[in-house]
């Protein structure tokens, strides 16, 4: 078989774990209030387990993905994840599940307490939109993050790239599924 089902030569959607800083020797642990098992599909083809299943891999370093669903309170979830007592957690990510409508408004309502509760959360936390089944992954920011410096970049090219970026951003907001945030620094 040339292609994994669900992919095609023209599009190669990424999975949520593709977006995380997870190393081959680390285990992805997915946790959500309520039925964590129902979120196992989020791991895709990465090795992953729930906190309850972790004892079988107890020596393995962990990357924790906490899924926030509708109505979950941040305070309660922080208490619960601190009581999980996971060994050697490398990175911790929050994934806010988006509502079909008003996804951004819903996220902002959860974002505000996150900033209030976590020291330093207002610095360096860049939320990422995961949309359209992994066809669009981009920063929730008004301007593109530049990863190269272009020589002689004219204002027309700058404007063109910004317009392209805003078009992508509006597409992403229309098809939003999750908003991902790396909260490792804040929890430390």
Partner 1 sequence: MPELVRDSSHSNGISILHLENAGIFRKISRSKQGRNLLHNESAGINWYRHARGDSDSLLSSTLWETDTFTRLDIKRIEGFQALYTDSVSVNQGLLEACLAHYLDTWPRQSRVPCHGDLTLDNVIFLEKNDPVFFDWEHFSGHGECWGFDMAYLLLSAIVLPAPHRSDITVIEKDTFVALWRQLAEAGLPEELGKNPAGFFRQAFSSGKHWLEITAHSPHKLFPLWMSKEQESHISHVIVEGIN
* Site residues (vs partner 1, CB under 8 A): 1-4, 7-14, 18-19, 21, 23-24, 45, 126-128, 135-139, 145, 147-153, 180-182
Q: For the CB of residue 72, give the shortest distance to partner 1 in the complex, in Å.
A: 21
Q: For the CB of residue 150, give the shortest distance to partner 1 in the complex, in Å.
A: 6
φ, ψ of residue 95 to 5 degrees: the values are: -120, 110
Tell me whether residue 42 or residue 137 sits nearer to partner 1 (CB atom): 137
Q: For the CB of residue 137, give the shortest distance to partner 1 in the complex, in Å.
A: 4
Tell me whether residue 56 or residue 151 sits nearer to partner 1 (CB atom): 151
Q: For the CB of residue 162, give the shortest distance to partner 1 in the complex, in Å.
A: 15
Report the b/e string of 41-72 with b at 16+ CB within 10 A. Answer: ebbbebebbebeebeeeeeebbbbbbbbeeeb
Q: For the CB of residue 48, give the shortest distance to partner 1 in the complex, in Å.
A: 12
Tell me whether residue 62 or residue 181 sits nearer to partner 1 (CB atom): 181
Give the β-pairing of 89-97 and 176-182: antiparallel
Tell me whether residue 47 or residue 76 sits nearer to partner 1 (CB atom): 47
Contact 78, 117 (CB under 8 A): yes
Contacts by residues 135-140 (CB-CB < 8 Å, ≥ 24 positions apart): 135/11, 135/13, 135/175, 136/168, 136/171, 136/172, 136/175, 137/14, 137/19, 138/168, 138/169, 138/172, 140/179
Q: How many residues does the chain have?
A: 188
Q: How far apart are CA 71 and CA 96, in angstroms?
A: 11
Tell me whether residue 101 or residue 146 sits nearer to partner 1 (CB atom): 146
Q: For the CB of residue 126, give the shortest distance to partner 1 in the complex, in Å.
A: 5
Tell me whether residue 46 or residue 80 sits nearer to partner 1 (CB atom): 46
């Amino acid at each position: 078989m040339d292609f994994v089902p669900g992919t095609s030569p023209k599009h190669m959607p990424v999975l949520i774990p593709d977006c995380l800083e997870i190393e081959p020797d680390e285990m992805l642990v997915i946790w959500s209030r309520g039925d964590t098992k129902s979120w196992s599909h989020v791991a895709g083809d990465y090795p992953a387990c729930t906190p309850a299943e972790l004892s079988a891999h107890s020596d393995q370093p962990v990357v924790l993905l906490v899924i926030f669903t509708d109505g979950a309170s941040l305070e309660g979830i922080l208490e619960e994840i601190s009581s999980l007592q996971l060994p050697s957690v490398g990175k911790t990510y929050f994934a806010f599940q988006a509502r079909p409508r008003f996804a951004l408004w819903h996220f902002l309502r959860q974002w505000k307490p996150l900033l209030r509760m976590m020291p330093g959360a207002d610095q360096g936390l860049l939320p990422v939109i995961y949309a359209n089944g992994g066809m669009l992954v981009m920063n929730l920011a008004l301007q593109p993050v530049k990863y190269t410096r272009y020589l002689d970049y004219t204002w027309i090219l700058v404007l063109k790239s910004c317009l392209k970026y805003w078009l992508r951003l509006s597409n992403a907001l229309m098809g939003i599924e999750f908003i991902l945030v790396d909260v490792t620094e804040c929890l430390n």
